[in-house]
Amino acid sequence: MAVPLFNITPDLTVSRLCLGTMTFGEQNSLPQSFLLLDKAFNSGINFFDSAEMYPVPQRAETQGRSEEYLGRWMRERKIPRDCVVLASKVSGPSGKMTWIRGGPMCLDAGNITEAIDNRYAPMFGETKYDPILQFHSIDIAEQLDALGRAVDAGKIRYVGLSNETPYGVMKFLHTAKCGPGFPKIVSLQNSYNLLCRNFDCGLAECCHHERVSLLAYSPLAMGILSGKYFSPDGGPADARLNLFEGRYSEGESRYNLSNTIVKNATKAYIDIAQKYGLHPVSLAIAFVLKHPLVASAVFGATKLWQLQQVLDACKMELNPEIIADIDKVETNLLTEIKRLLYKV
């Protein structure tokens, strides 16, 4: 069974699974990366995601390898350019990644243009906006103008946002409509999974009315929803949260397994999968793909069998009984969060 497709625009069709490459060049060697890309492409995946800051954890010594490996694969395998959709991302404000343009303090036209040849927003699972963390703002028109020039030059095809808020999405959309020749925003890449449904609180309404598709990253909550970290030995030593423990603060901050709420909710979802004879990966991926605004689930895999598990999940359809059980866990999760926040 080939991976199904989704039309983001009339002339842009992507597979409903998107292989993320952020492990290429760190956890995965070049030959290993080629094997994963071969299997994904031959299975019907035409959509691949990267970023100029990849791989992770971020290091000066490896920065850029993920994009490089992806490009080398296309060249060496002689993949026709019109058979693959590539999504990549410009690094925003970063005081830590000084090896990327000195640690960009803003996402201005110069940084955008240089990344192709700031505005602070809560990201990586954060739920609160902190005005103290607001970086120097760059006019959105300046950003869209730089992106529009890249589109006109044929360097990029469409423009999307990543880790954005409802305010940010609407500001970009409004500015794009008002500016001369500014490119339209066609996609939003934010985290969405059984443990993180922030998208449904405001962003979903924006995307529905403005016809912006969600590229849902971290559908397995960094592997937690696979259940592998709940084995007696704490999971494989080469699993990301074990391998990079203490070195991957951005990732570890999203889903903390020492948090009782996260742990109990995850176990409840694993129990649901077992109840219906499903693999936890299938439950998690199928849940994300069921969302009407999700164009593609952006997932990562370091091993061929992990990739196969996700491919198999495309065959799953969740019945109303399963969805009802999932909703009960979500209700209990929200109730527990409110209890802790408001001491009720």
Residue 253 backbone class (left: φ over 0; alpha: ψ -120 to 50; beta: rest): alpha
Q: Do the beta carbons of residue 151 and residue 186 sit within 8 Å?
A: no
Residues 54, 69, 120, 229: which is the catalytic one?
54
* Six token digits for residue 46: 């035409």
Measured distance CA(276)–CA(126) in Å, rounded:
32
Residue 217: active-site member: no
What is the distance between the alpha carbons of residues 193 and 191, in angstroms, rounded to a whole number?
Answer: 7
Cα–Cα distance, 275 to 265 (Å, whole number): 15
Please give the radius of gyration of the chain, using alpha carbons only, rounded to the nearest integer: 20
Count other C-beta atoms under 10 Å from residue 297's C-beta: 30
321: Cα within 13 Å, side-chain hemisphere: 4
> Strand, coil or helix: what is 141?
helix
Active centre residues (catalytic): 54
